[in-house]
């Protein structure tokens, strides 16, 4: 009888000890850190973004290899007049080139009493196609014809920019030029042209003329309705560029 009680006691002790040991091992296992798990997911997402970027070899704003004052494609592009500014870049559409050209002032003389000057300004955008040839995307032209006083039609240096404001991988390009035919001291007409692909946006108005010891005048600004359907960032940027180059100073 005592032997049976002894055996039962040992079995009960073994069972209790085993359960306690199992619980102890479970309590010692490290708990999952939910924040660490989220961090790992974010890192995975980041790697996927980087990988996608590597495949397209594009920068974070969707553009790469932006080079200003480009003229090396001059022999492959068809355009009028002489290049005064240019830029090339790569985006989702491929290799792009934009050039701005101007003619020299053209003297018109019918007789000794009838003399005038004419000039043209052009803007061209090209993209390289699958056949490794440049195809024209758009072209603009502006001109002043037979001006009998002082003629101005000039691209404003440093106003040509390439951006990706809406981060869609397709570049916007913006530039500004001034023009006038006048015989007095007054503001020049001013034009800002922006494109995204074939879509054109514009601001038209006049410069702000600052003459020493006089109050500035001019500065009319008319925003084209094309901006109504454009991303807000486009107009914000265009206004900033417009203001940057609107001022003219005369001593």
Tell me: do 82 and 19 sit in the same domain: no
What pLDDT does 150 receive?
96
Tell me: do 36 and 121 sit in the same domain: no
What pLDDT does 45 receive?
29
What pLDDT does 72 receive?
73
Tell me: do 124 and 233 sit in the same domain: yes
What is the pTM assigned to this prediction?
Answer: 0.74
Tell me: do 114 and 13 sit in the same domain: no
- Tokens 């494109």 found at: 195
Stretches in the chain below the pLDDT threshold 50: 1-60
Tell me: do 37 and 142 sit in the same domain: no
What pLDDT does 12 receive?
42
**Three-class SS of 174-218:** EEEEEEEEECCCCCCEEEEEEEECCEEEEEEEECEEEECCCCCEE
Domain span at residue 15 reads 2-25+32-54
Residue 122 CA: distances (Å) to CA of 73, 82, 143, 202, 235: 17, 9, 9, 15, 23
Tell me: do 93 and 211 sit in the same domain: yes
- Tokens 């590597």 found at: 54
- Which pLDDT tens digit goes with each residue over 23-79? 332 233 333 332 223 211 222 222 222 222 232 344 445 799 999 988 777 667 899
The answer to whether residues 188 and 180 touch, using CB atoms and an 8 Å cutoff, is: yes
For 73-76, the CB contacts below 8 A with 24+ separation are 73/97, 73/126, 73/134, 76/133, 76/134
- Give dist(CA 155, CA 238) in Å, integer: 16
Q: What domain count does the chain have?
A: 2
**Burial of 1 per CB tally in 10 Å (0-12, 13-18, 19+):** exposed
What pLDDT does 61 receive?
56
**Burial of 121 per CB tally in 10 Å (0-12, 13-18, 19+):** buried
What pLDDT does 151 receive?
97
Tell me: do 208 and 152 sit in the same domain: yes
- Tokens 């999952």 found at: 32
Of 174, 179, 177, nearest in space to 157 by CA: 177
Tell me: do 157 and 224 sit in the same domain: yes
The answer to whether residues 102 and 154 touch, using CB atoms and an 8 Å cutoff, is: yes
């Amino acid at each position: 009888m005592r032997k049976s009680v002894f055996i039962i006691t040992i079995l009960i002790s073994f069972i209790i000890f085993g359960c306690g040991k199992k619980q102890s091992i479970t309590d010692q296992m490290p708990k999952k850190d939910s924040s660490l798990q989220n961090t790992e997911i974010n890192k995975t997402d980041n790697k996927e973004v980087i990988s996608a970027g590597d495949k397209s070899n594009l920068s974070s704003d969707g553009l790469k290899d932006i080079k200003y004052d480009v003229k090396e494609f001059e022999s492959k592009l068809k355009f009028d007049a002489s290049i005064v500014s240019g830029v090339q870049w790569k985006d989702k559409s491929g290799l792009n080139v934009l050039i701005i050209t101007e003619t020299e002032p053209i003297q018109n003389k019918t007789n000794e009493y009838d003399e005038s000057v004419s000039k043209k300004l052009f803007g061209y955008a090209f993209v390289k196609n699958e056949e490794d040839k440049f195809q024209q995307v758009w072209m603009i032209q502006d001109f002043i014809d037979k001006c009998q006083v002082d003629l101005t039609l000039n691209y404003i240096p440093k106003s040509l920019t390439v951006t990706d404001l809406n981060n869609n991988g397709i570049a916007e390009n913006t530039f500004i030029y001034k023009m006038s035919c006048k015989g007095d001291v007054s503001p020049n007409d001013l034009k800002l042209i922006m494109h995204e692909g074939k879509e054109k946006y514009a601001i038209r108005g006049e410069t702000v003329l600052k003459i020493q010891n006089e109050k500035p005048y001019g500065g009319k600004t008319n925003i084209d309705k094309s901006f109504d359907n454009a991303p807000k960032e486009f107009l914000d940027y265009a206004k900033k560029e417009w203001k940057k180059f609107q001022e003219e100073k005369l001593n």
